[in-house]
Structure formats: structure tokens, C-alpha cells
């Protein structure tokens, strides 16, 4: 009987495809829209994080700071081995690197034009060769970059009218206020992800330290890249605890803001360290994307409710149209519960086919979206990676979306079937 | 005299000559500071800043003007600069007392801590340019030469900073016999020329000297127009200078808040 019921349901659906098409279409559209929204949200999160990781160099960051002779983010080269030894003790760590950096105290000059830089990032070219693959290089020199190389953003290059091979003058203001300059050759021009602004540039640690008056291997940040899936906050806590006793430490900070406020709350001349996940550095961006997410989640709810109401009404009309057929089935012995189950099974079959179609359509839609060049849309470039959105939906997310849609369809079918179930066979037959 | 003794004497002479020249250099810088400082009274002057920025494709430079009143008390190394033009910046003020420099915004009625090394109102002038001259304290003479600069027979002094609190660690100044600086070049630590200032004339205010007109060339910004590189420049003109003993309360935040109301 159970098998017969599934067979009858399948036969009804396959023979009356036109009737079920609207419901199937609603299922497909609902799943595609919801998965697209989720894909975009996941893509935004991933792009923001990837930009932060590129910007700071890792998933967990160890910052050094000192108060003597100046309040500044600075760590001496002598502390490098301690940090490297601590990092080697963790199998979660994929790679490490040291970075120097200077904020808003630098200007690039070329041929009479000047462009202030939001940040000059000093890196070890050899240790961070992967960065050259990760950043969106528009054009670059063939030879590997050296200590006299600089990678400028496309926005800076356009303002300065410089290009690969141009000799630009980098003027920095040291923390003491002294002005120093260094001439560097443009090795590459990159399209900035823009999350951290379009006016950043990359130079070698050695060049930046030289112009800042530091030792060549001094740094301000030790960045650790972790294996995917490692809890960054927990790892930062663990690494911080291991630093205690090995290096002078600050307290573990709960946010970047707290770090900015309290990083100089210590006495003594030594550089003090703390660790934090890179997530701390993108809290404001996360708030921005959070606001966007709320809007998109509301849209998702709207889509789900629309699909639910639409399918319920379609079911009602469809079952009304089929009252003679269903009444006949009741008359030849199908119980009210059996009739309801039949409708539910029809709904399940429609939902299953709809889900399969929706999966294929959404894969295609996500693929198209990930190839769409969106870099020129104002405001959106904040969330792009190399000018692309790169949305992504995991299999579990698809499963959850499909489950929700199946549930909505079954609820619509259940409520619509409830009326038919309680109807007498005669009433059903004579209804139309 | 044995050759070794000769060598020792020569070394002593060279060393003492070096010490003398260093001392002479310090003295010269002190004289320049004295010639450019206004001690025992306050100075008030109307300043006009004209910024000329050359843009590509334009034959004439873009000109913008700002005006300000400056109250200066060199004895306490203080100054108060209140902008009067343009209208949008009217009432904005810079207050320097000791080593603190504050920017006051009359709209928000807030003081923001700022740096002496920063550019003044995005012009080629640094906030530190309004402070009293302190060459003898901040620099030492590392080279000297003579050069005719227009109608002036100048000593050209190359200076290097002895303190790391100055904006430009290397300077070259052209000093006329009356100890007035007629030209000044500011260099970065690595020797890149950042800007050139020319002070062709001075106003005599009482017994003191104030540059009447200062032309400041930005050596890094400008445009090539008709095959010639034209530097961005700021011209600072001082008018209606006067000396008068002012109440010390002028150089306070409270005063600015009061006039802001």
C-alpha cells in the first residue's frame, strides 16, 4: 500500500507536470535566490578576511610596541628567534613572516606629483613570495623584486603617472618628526582590494627600516598563517600564554581598540608583545558587512515567506481543480489520512526534482556571478577580491537550504490537503 | 723638529682649528638666532599665504590664499595663529606653548594636538616655521663657503641636526653679513632636497627683523609646463607688523575658547 501510494504520487506528478510546474518553479527560484544570497554573504566574509590576511600577513598577529624613546609599534630583530622558536612548536602554523609598517606618515613623489600613503608595508620579499600571487598585480617587472623595489597601488600609479620601472621618491616622517627619503623603483602595480583603502604600498623590510632609521631586520608585527579551520582566537590565546616568560608581554587584548588604547600602559624600555587574531583588525568592516547581512537576511526571509504563500495558494487552487479526482479516490476507499499523505508525497517528489534543478541552476548562477567583473561598481569594491565577488556555498548549506524549501513546500501541501482530507467523497465529487 | 713631532703638532693644529671652527659655527648660528628672534616683547603681524599649484594642461597655476594674524612671544617660545581667510577656515587657530601645538576648531570648539613638523594648512609651510629660530640649539655647522646671492655677499652654511626633534635633519643657509638668512634649503636625512625658501627682504620692526616676503618652493611637487619644471610654491607676506607687550593669557586655550564664543 505504501509503495502504491508513492507510485500513485509519482504518476500524478509525471502525468500532470503542468499543474506542478508552478510549485516546482517556486522551489527552484526560492532555493536559487537563498543560495545566491548566502553565497554572496560568504564571499564577502571571505574576501574581507583574505584582504586582512594579506594586509597583515597572517591569521594570528604578534605586535610589538615600545614607549622609550618614543611610543611606537616597534620590535627589535633580537626578538625574532624567540618568536620563531615558539611558532615552530605548533603544527597548526603553516608559515610565519615578519613585517614592518608605517601608517599615514609617508608620501610617494614622482615627476612633481605627490600622493600620501595610508600605509607602507615592509615585507621580506623572499619569505613572502606567495603574496605576489595573492595580490592583484596589474603589471610587474620580470625579475624578482629586491630591496630597492616598491609595489604601488593602481590608484597611486594613476595619480603619480608612474609605471613599472619608474623611480619614485618615498618620503617618510619618522616618529621623532625627522623627514627622510629613499628612492625606489616601481616593481609592480596592483589593484587594491580597497578594504584598507587604495593608497597602500609594499616595500622590502630592509628599505623601510633604513628610511625609518631602524636596524634592517626590525619589525612591528610577527604574522602566523594557520591551517584552515584552526580557531584563531584560541590559538592567539595559546601563543600569547607561551610568550609569557619568554618575552615582555602586554595583557591579552579583547579588541584592536583596546590594544590601541592600552598598548603603552607599561614601563621600561623593552618592547612588549601581545597576540591577537587578525579578525580584531577587521571588526569595523565586519560591522559594515553585518549591516549588509541583515538586509540580505531580511530579503531571504521575504523570499521564503513569498514562496510559502505562493505554493500554499497554488496548492489550494490545484487541489480544488483536482477535487473530482481526489473525491473519486476517497469514494473507492482511500482514507482522509491516505489522501493527505498522497498530496504530501506528491509535494516531496516535486520538491526533490525542484531541489535538483535548483542546485544546478544556482551552481551556474554562482559561477556566472564569480566571473562577473564588478570592480567598477562604486562601493562594492570594498568586498571584492581581484575585482570579483567569489561567492561560495558549501554542501551543508545547500542541504540546509533545500531542507527549508522542502519543509515550506510540505507545510503548504499539508495545509492545503487538510481541507481535502476533511471533505466527504460525495462533496468532493460534486464540488465542481 | 723630528718628523713625528711635526706630525703631532700638525694634528694638534688641525684639531684645534676644527674645534675653533665648530665654536665659530655655533657662535654664528647664535647670532643668526638673535637676529631673527624678538625678545622682551610680543610681535603681532598680518600674514598672507598664497599657494601656487601648477596643474598639467593648465598654463597658469591654481592660486589659493589664506590670511592669518600671528601673535608671537619668543621669550616663552609661544605663538598664536588665528586664520581670518578664507571664510571656511575663519577662526581656526594654532596655539603653541612650550613643545605643545594645538589646533583649535571654532565649529566643534575642540582642540586637536598637532605636530610642529606637519604642513600648515596643506601649504609648503611647516607649523614649526612660525616658531622662534633655534638653529644654534638644533644644528651644528658642518661646512661653510662664500657665495654672492643677488646683492648679498653670503656665507653658505651647511648644517646638520644635533637633535632628532627637528623636521629637516640637514639644512643649507645663505646668511648675509647682517646675520639674516636670505635663502634656506631643507634636506631629508638622506640628502634629498625637500624645499627651498628665499627671504629677499626683511622688515625692521623696532630693533628686530621679520622676513617681509618669503617664497617657499616645494622641490618635490610641481609640473613640467612648456618643457620647464615649475615648482609648487607658497608666498608668505607679512604686513602691519607691530611690537606690543600682550597679556600672557592670549597664549592659552581659554583665550581661544573665549573668542570662539
Interface A-B, measured as beta-carbon pairs within 8 A, has a size of 61
Q: How many other C-beta atoms lie within 10 A of the C-beta of residue A406?
A: 19
Q: How far is B192 from chain A (nearest CA, A)?
A: 7
Reply yes or no on whether the pLDDT at B14 is more than 70: no
Q: What is the mean pLDDT of residues B25-48?
A: 89
Q: Rounded to 10 degrees, what is the CA torsion of A97, A100, A104, A109? A: -100
CA distance B254 to chain A (A): 28
ipTM over 0.95: no
Q: What is the DSSP letter of A70?
A: S
- Asked if B162 has any chain A CB less than 8 Å from its own CB, the reply is no
Q: Which residue has the cell 600564554?
A: A241
In the prediction, which pLDDT does A395 show? Answer: 85
pLDDT band per the 50, 70, 90 thresholds, residue B138? very high
The answer to whether the Cβ–Cβ distance between A181 and B221 falls below 8 Å is: no
Query: What pLDDT, on the 0 to 100 scale, is given for residue A89?
Result: 92
Is the confidence at residue B3, as pLDDT, over 60?
Answer: no
Asked if B219 reaches chain A (Cβ–Cβ under 8 Å), the answer is no
For residue A213, the chain B residues in CB contact (below 8 A) are 189
Task: Tell me if A112 and B229 make a contact (CB, 8 A cut-off).
Answer: yes
Q: CA of B195 to nearest chain A CA: how many angstroms apart?
A: 12
Residues A335-389 have pLDDT tens digits of 878 888 888 898 899 999 999 999 999 989 888 888 887 767 766 666 777 777 7
CA of B184 to nearest chain A CA: how many angstroms apart? 16
Residues belonging to chain A with any Cβ–Cβ distance to chain B shorter than 8 Å: 109, 111-114, 169, 171, 173-174, 176-183, 211, 213
State residue A168's pLDDT score.
Answer: 96
Rounded to the nearest angstrom, the minimum Cα separation between A211 and chain B is 8
Nearest CA in chain A to B128: A177
Average pLDDT along chain B: 85
Residues A177, B192: C-beta atoms closer than 8 Å = no
Instruction: Quote the minimal CA–CA distance from A148 to chain B in Å.
Output: 15
In the predicted structure, residue B12 carries a pLDDT above the cut 60: no
Determine the distance in angstroms separating the CA of B83 from the nearest CA of chain A, rounded to an integer.
Answer: 25
Of residues A336 and B3, the one with the higher pLDDT is A336
Beta carbons of A179 and B220 less than 8 Å apart: no
Mutate to test the interface with B, among A68, A69, A70, A112 (most CBs of B within 10 A): A112
Residue A215: per-residue pLDDT: 92
CB of A176 within 8 A of CB of A95? no
B224–A contact, CB cutoff 8 A: yes
Query: Between A112, A177, A183, which is nearest B165 by CB?
Result: A177
Of the given ranges (A50-54, A363-367, B91-95, B193-197), which has the lowest mean pLDDT? A50-54
**Closest Cβ opposite residue B165 in set A173, A176, A179:** A176
C-beta of residue A317 within 8 angstroms of C-beta of residue A383 = no
Among A121-125, B15-19, B200-204, which is the least confidently predicted range?
B15-19
Nearest to A358 by CA among A35, A43, A38: A35
- HEC string of chain B equals CCHHHHHHHHHHHHHHHHHHHHHHHHHHHHHHHHHHCCCCCCEEEEEEEEEEECCCCCCCCEEEEEEEEEEEEHHHCEEEEEEEECHHHCCCEEEEECCEEEEEECCCCEEEEECCCCEHHHCCCEHHHHCCCCHHHHEEEEEEEEEEECCEEEEEEEEEECCCCCCCCEEEEEECCCCCEEEEEEECCCCCEEEEEEEEEEEEECCEEEEEEEEEEEEEEEEEECCEEEEEEEEEEEEEEEECCCCHHHHCHHHHHHHHC
Q: Determine the average pLDDT of the residues in A41-60.
A: 85
Q: Which of B167, B188, B190 sits opposite A177 (nearest CB)?
A: B167
B229 at A interface, C-beta within 8 A: yes
Give the C-alpha separation, B261 to B256, whole Å. 9
Report the pLDDT averaged over residues A52-68. Answer: 90
Is the pLDDT reported for residue B227 higher than 80? no
- At residue A80 the predicted structure's pLDDT band, cuts being 50, 70 and 90, is very high
B189:A113 CB<8 A? no
- Give A195's pLDDT tier (boundaries 50, 70, 90): low
Q: What percent of chain B has pLDDT over 70?
A: 89
**For residue B9, is pLDDT > 70?**
no
All residues of chain A having their beta carbon less than 8 Å from the beta carbon of residue B190 are 180-182, 211
Q: How many CB atoms lie within 10 A of CB A305?
A: 11
- A178: which chain B residues are within 8 Å (Cβ-Cβ)? 161, 164-169, 189
DSSP conformation class of A211? H
pLDDT band per the 50, 70, 90 thresholds, residue B56: low
At residue B118 the predicted structure's pLDDT band, cuts being 50, 70 and 90, is confident
User: For residues A382 and A194, what is the distance between their CA atoms, to the nearest angstrom?
Assistant: 5
d(CA B180, CA A323): 108
Whether residue B114 has pLDDT greater than 80: yes
Residue of A nearest to B162 (CA): A178
**From CA B109, how far away is CA B102, in angstroms rounded?**
12
Which of A111, A114, A180 lies closest to B190 in CB terms?
A: A180
Interface check for B115 against chain A (CB to CB < 8 A): the answer is yes
Per-residue confidence band for A415, with pLDDT thresholds at 50, 70 and 90: confident
The confidence score (pLDDT) of residue A193 equals: 57
Min distance A103 CA to chain B CA atoms (Å): 15
Record: contact A173-B117, CB cut-off 8 A: yes
* pLDDT above 90: residue A63: yes
The pLDDT of residue A3 is 66
Q: Is the peptide bond before B22 cis (omega within 30 degrees of 0)?
A: no
Band of residue A6 on the pLDDT scale cut at 50, 70, 90: confident
Which whole-number Å values give the CA distances from B213 to A181, A358, B201, in the listed order? 29, 76, 6
A371 or B54, which is more confident: A371
Residues of chain A contacting B131 with CB distance shorter than 8 Å: none
CA geometry: angle at B58 spanning B54 and B61, to 5°?
35
| pLDDT the model gives residue A36 | 87
In terms of CA atoms, which chain B residue is nearest residue A176? Answer: B165
Inspect the interface and report whether the beta carbons of A171 and B188 lie closer than 8 Å. Answer: yes
Q: Which of B165, B192, B231 faces A181 most closely, judged by CB atoms?
A: B192
Rounded Cα distance between A274 and A262, Å, is: 11
Whether residue A324 is predicted with pLDDT greater than 60 in this model: the reply is yes
CB-CB under 8 Å, B224 with A179: no
pLDDT computed for residue A388 by the predictor: 75
**B169 contacts in A (CB within 8 Å)?**
178-180
| φ, ψ (nearest 5 deg) of residue B212 | -80, -40
pLDDT in tens, A203-256: 999 999 999 989 999 998 999 999 999 999 999 999 999 999 999 999 999 988
Residues A178, B189: C-beta atoms closer than 8 Å: yes
Cα separation, A41 vs A291, in Å, equals 11
Q: Measured between CB atoms, which of B166, B188, B232 is closest to A181? A: B188
Query: pTM above 0.80?
Result: no
Grid cell digits, residue A382: 570594498
Check pLDDT > 90 for residue A162. yes
User: What is the band of A427 on the pLDDT scale with cuts at 50, 70, 90?
Assistant: confident
CA distances from B101 to A50, A104, B93, B251 (A): 40, 19, 10, 11
Q: By the CB < 8 Å criterion, does B188 face chain A?
A: yes
Instruction: Look at residues A172, A127, A133, A174 and name the one whose alpha carbon lies nearest to residue A151.
Output: A133
Is any Cβ of chain A less than 8 angstroms from the Cβ of B123? no
Cα(B51)–Cα(B232) distance, integer angstroms: 8
| Amino acid A397: pLDDT | 84
- Closest-CA residue in chain B for A115? B221
Instruction: Quote the minimal CA–CA distance from B124 to chain A in Å.
Output: 13
Of the candidates A112, A223, A123, A100, the one whose C-alpha atom is nearest the C-alpha of residue A172 is: A100
Spatial CA neighbour of A86 closest among A219, A244, A256: A244
Give the pLDDT band (50/70/90) at residue B16. very low
How far is it, in rounded angstroms, from Cα A34 to Cα A391? 12
Amino acid at each position: 500500500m505504501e509503495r502504491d501510494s508513492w507510485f500513485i504520487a509519482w504518476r500524478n506528478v509525471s502525468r500532470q507536470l503542468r499543474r506542478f510546474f508552478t510549485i516546482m518553479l517556486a522551489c527552484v527560484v526560492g532555493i536559487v535566490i537563498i543560495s545566491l544570497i548566502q553565497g554572496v554573504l560568504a564571499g564577502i566574509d571571505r574576501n574581507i578576511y583574505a584582504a586582512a590576511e594579506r594586509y597583515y600577513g597572517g591569521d594570528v598577529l604578534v605586535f610589538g610596541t615600545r614607549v622609550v624613546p618614543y611610543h611606537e609599534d616597534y620590535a627589535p630583530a633580537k626578538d625574532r628567534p624567540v618568536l620563531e622558536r615558539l611558532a615552530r612548536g605548533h603544527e597548526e602554523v603553516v608559515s610565519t613572516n615578519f613585517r614592518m609598517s608605517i601608517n599615514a606618515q609617508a608620501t610617494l613623489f614622482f615627476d612633481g606629483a605627490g600622493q600620501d600613503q595610508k600605509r607602507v608595508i615592509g615585507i621580506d620579499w623572499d619569505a613572502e613570495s606567495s603574496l605576489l600571487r595573492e595580490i592583484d598585480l596589474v603589471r610587474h617587472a620580470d625579475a624578482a623584486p629586491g630591496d630597492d623595489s616598491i609595489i604601488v597601488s593602481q590608484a597611486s600609479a594613476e595619480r603619480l603617472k608612474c609605471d613599472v620601472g619608474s623611480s619614485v621618491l618615498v618620503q617618510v616622517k619618522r616618529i621623532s618628526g625627522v623627514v627622510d627619503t629613499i628612492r625606489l623603483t616601481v616593481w609592480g602595480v596592483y589593484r587594491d582590494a580597497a578594504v584598507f583603502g587604495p593608497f597602500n604600498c609594499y616595500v622590502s623590510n630592509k628599505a623601510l627600516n633604513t628610511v625609518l632609521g631602524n636596524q634592517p631586520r626590525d619589525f612591528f608585527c610577527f604574522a602566523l598563517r594557520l591551517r584552515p579551520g584552526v580557531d584563531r582566537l584560541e590559538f592567539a590565546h595559546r601563543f600569547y600564554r607561551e610568550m609569557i616568560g619568554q618575552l615582555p608581554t602586554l595583557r591579552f587584548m579583547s579588541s584592536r581598540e583596546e590594544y590601541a588604547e592600552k598598548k603603552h600602559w607599561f614601563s621600561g624600555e623593552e618592547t612588549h608583545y601581545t597576540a591577537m587574531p587578525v579578525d580584531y583588525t577587521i571588526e569595523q568592516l565586519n560591522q559594515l558587512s553585518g549591516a549588509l547581512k541583515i538586509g540580505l537576511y531580511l530579503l531571504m526571509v521575504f523570499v521564503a515567506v513569498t514562496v510559502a504563500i505562493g505554493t500554499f495558494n497554488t496548492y489550494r487552487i490545484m487541489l480544488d481543480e483536482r477535487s473530482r479526482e481526489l473525491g473519486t479516490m476517497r469514494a473507492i476507499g482511500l482514507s482522509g489520512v491516505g489522501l493527505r499523505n498522497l498530496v504530501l508525497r506528491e509535494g516531496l517528489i516535486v520538491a526533490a526534482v525542484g531541489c535538483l534543478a535548483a542546485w544546478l541552476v544556482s551552481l551556474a548562477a554562482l559561477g556566472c556571478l564569480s566571473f562577473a567583473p564588478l570592480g567598477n561598481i562604486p562601493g562594492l569594491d570594498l568586498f571584492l577580491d581581484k575585482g570579483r565577488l567569489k561567492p561560495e556555498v558549501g554542501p551543508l548549506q545547500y542541504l540546509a537550504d533545500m531542507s527549508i524549501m522542502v519543509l515550506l513546500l510540505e507545510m503548504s501541501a499539508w495545509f492545503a490537503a487538510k481541507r481535502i482530507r476533511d471533505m466527504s467523497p460525495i462533496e468532493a465529487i460534486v464540488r465542481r | 723638529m723630528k718628523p713625528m713631532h711635526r706630525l703631532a703638532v700638525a694634528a694638534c693644529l688641525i684639531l684645534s682649528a676644527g674645534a675653533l671652527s665648530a665654536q665659530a659655527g655655533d657662535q654664528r648660528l647664535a647670532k643668526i638666532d638673535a637676529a631673527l628672534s624678538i625678545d622682551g616683547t610680543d610681535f603681532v603681524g598680518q600674514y598672507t599665504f598664497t599657494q601656487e599649484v601648477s596643474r598639467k594642461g593648465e598654463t597658469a597655476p591654481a592660486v589659493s590664499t589664506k590670511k592669518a594674524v600671528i601673535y608671537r612671544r619668543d621669550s616663552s617660545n609661544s605663538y598664536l595663529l588665528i586664520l581670518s581667510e578664507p571664510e571656511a577656515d575663519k577662526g581656526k587657530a594654532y596655539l603653541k606653548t612650550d613643545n605643545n601645538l594645538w589646533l583649535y576648531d571654532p565649529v566643534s570648539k575642540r582642540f586637536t594636538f598637532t605636530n610642529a613638523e606637519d604642513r600648515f594648512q596643506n601649504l609648503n609651510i611647516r607649523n614649526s616655521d612660525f616658531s622662534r629660530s633655534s638653529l644654534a640649539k638644533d644644528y651644528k655647522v658642518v661646512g661653510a663657503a662664500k657665495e654672492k646671492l643677488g646683492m648679498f655677499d653670503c656665507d653658505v652654511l651647511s648644517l646638520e641636526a644635533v637633535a632628532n626633534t627637528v623636521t629637516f635633519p640637514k639644512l643649507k643657509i645663505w646668511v648675509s653679513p647682517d646675520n639674516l638668512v636670505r635663502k634656506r634649503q631643507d634636506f631629508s636625512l638622506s640628502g634629498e632636497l625637500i624645499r627651498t625658501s628665499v627671504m629677499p627682504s626683511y622688515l625692521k620692526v623696532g630693533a628686530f627683523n621679520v622676513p617681509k616676503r618669503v617664497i617657499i618652493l616645494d622641490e618635490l611637487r610641481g609640473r613640467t609646463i612648456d618643457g620647464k619644471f615649475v615648482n609648487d610654491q607658497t608666498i608668505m607676506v607679512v604686513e602691519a607688523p607691530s611690537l606690543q607687550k600682550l597679556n600672557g593669557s592670549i597664549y592659552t586655550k581659554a583665550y581661544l575658547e573665549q573668542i570662539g564664543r
